[in-house]
């Protein structure tokens, strides 16, 4: 077995750039269709419930990961919950600093085991506490398109 001779001069280094236009469509599925229709049409959160495991899924699933049974029990959930954790974003995806930092929170939705991750609005960072009650703020019905962005963010309940 050999050992490698290596290039020792920067001027001799060659590379070839490659790229592909990587685009995908992601269908929302049975559960996603119903969830986002609930948000778009009625500004409400829908979960699915497994009575056997005593678990309410949000985002909803049509099967239970615990007992592996089909889930048919849809429940309306209050668009509010407890802040489980949050982070203050000082930069965007390209690493450019935000003039005004953004705040993302994970809100554990009441009467479910699930949560939503969204912006926290109307609170100074130093006023935010884990455990505080927050409620979802939806866009107006004419602005809603059936996506997670139909929610503006969470505000104090």
Partner 1 sequence: MDRRVAVIGIGTTGFRAASPEVSYREMIYEAAVKAYSDAGLAPDQIGSFIACSEDISEGTSIFDEYCPDQIGGARRPVHSVSGDGLHGIITAAMNIQTGLFETALVECHSKVSNCIDPVEIMNYALDPIYNRPLGEHPEFIAGLEMRRYLYESKAQPKDCAAVVQKNRAHALKNPWAAYPANLELEEIQDSPATFDPLREIDRAHHADGASVVILASADWVKKNRVKNPVWVKGMGWISEDPGLEMRPWGRSIATQKAAKMAYKQAGIRSPRSEIDFAEVDDTYSYKELQHLEDLWFFPLGGAAKAVRSGLTRSDGKFPVNVSGGCLGMGNAAEASGLQRVLEIVTQLRGEAGVRQLKRVRQAVAQSWRGIPTTSCAVAVLSKGVNS
Binding residues for partner 1, per CB under 8 A? 1-4, 6-8, 10, 13, 15, 18, 22, 24, 26, 28, 32, 57-59, 65, 84-95, 101-102, 104-106, 113-119, 125, 130, 147-149
Residue 32 has a CB neighbour count (10 Å cut-off) of 16
Q: How far is the CB of 152 from partner 1 (least distance, A)?
A: 12
DSSP per-residue letters across 71-94 = --EEEEE-SEEEEEEEEEEEE-TT
The conformation of residue 148, written as its DSSP 8-state character, comes to G
Q: How far is the CB of 20 from partner 1 (least distance, A)?
A: 9
Among Zn ion, partner 1, none, the one that 93 touches (CB under a kind-dependent 5 to 8 A) is partner 1
Alpha-carbon span 138 to 151, nearest angstrom? 4
* Interface residue list for Zn ion (CB under 5 A): 50, 52-53, 64, 66-67
Alpha-carbon span 63 to 49, nearest angstrom? 9
Q: How far is the CB of 130 from Zn ion (least distance, A)?
A: 29
């Amino acid at each position: 077995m050999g050992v490698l001779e290596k290039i020792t001069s920067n001027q001799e280094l060659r590379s070839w750039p490659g790229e592909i236009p990587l685009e995908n469509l992601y269908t929302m599925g049975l559960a996603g269709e119903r969830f986002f229709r609930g948000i778009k049409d009625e500004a409400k959160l829908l979960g699915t419930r497994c009575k056997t495991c005593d678990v309410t899924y949000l985002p909803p699933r049509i099967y239970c990961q615990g007992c592996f049974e089909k889930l048919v029990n849809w429940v309306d959930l209050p668009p509010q919950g407890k802040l489980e954790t949050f982070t203050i974003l000082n930069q965007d995806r390209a690493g450019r600093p935000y003039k005004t930092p953004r705040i993302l929170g994970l809100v554990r939705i009441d009467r479910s085991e699930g949560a939503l991750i969204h912006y926290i609005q109307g609170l100074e960072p130093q006023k935010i506490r884990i455990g505080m009650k927050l409620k979802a703020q939806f866009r107006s019905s004419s602005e809603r398109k059936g996506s997670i962005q139909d929610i503006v963010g969470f505000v104090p309940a």
